[in-house]
Amino acid sequence: MIACLLLYFDPLSSLMLFIVGAGGCELELAGVPAPVFFDEVLEYLATEVLELDGIAARNDKKTRIIPRHIQLAIRFDDKLPQFLRDVMIPNGGVIPNIHNIFLPNKKNCSSKAAIVGGQEEEED
C-alpha cells in the first residue's frame, strides 16, 4: 500500500522501487543517487525528443506534434536511433528509403532522350 502511494506522489521514489525492486535487498548495489541520475537521464532524453519533435512539426507547418513527427525526429537524428532502434511508434509511418539504383540518373536520362529523339527523326 505504501509503495502504491509513493508511486502516485513521488516519481523519484517510483524510480527507486523500479531500480531496487520491491524487496529492497539490492539497495546496497544500486545506491541512493541511482534514481536521481536515472531521473536526470530520462528528463534529458524527453527534452531532446520534444525539441526535435517541435522542429519537425514546425518544418511540416503544423502546430501540434503527431506521432509522425516523433518518428521523423528520432530516425533523422544522429544519436537517438542508437538508443531507440527497437522502438515502434504507432501511427509513425515508415521512413522513406530508396536505393540509388532505382533513382533516375541525370546523365542517363538526357542521353536516352537524345537517342529517342534521334530515332524519331530518322523514322519520319
pTM over 0.75: no
Would you mind telling me the total number of residues written for the chain in this entry? 124
Distances (CA, A) of 32 to 13, 52, 106: 11, 32, 62
Q: Measuring CA to CA, which residue among 39, 40, 50 is closest to residue 11?
A: 39
Q: CA-to-CA distance for 32 and 7, rounded, in angstroms?
A: 17
Q: Which long-range contacts (CB under 8 A, 24 or more apart) does 104-110 make?
A: none
Task: pLDDT tens for the chain, 124 residues: list them.
Answer: 444 444 455 666 666 666 666 665 555 555 667 777 878 888 888 899 999 999 999 999 999 999 999 998 888 888 888 888 888 888 888 877 888 888 888 775 554 454 555 554 444 4
Domains and CATH numbers, the chain: 34-94 (1.10.20.10)
| pLDDT at residue 80 in the model | 85
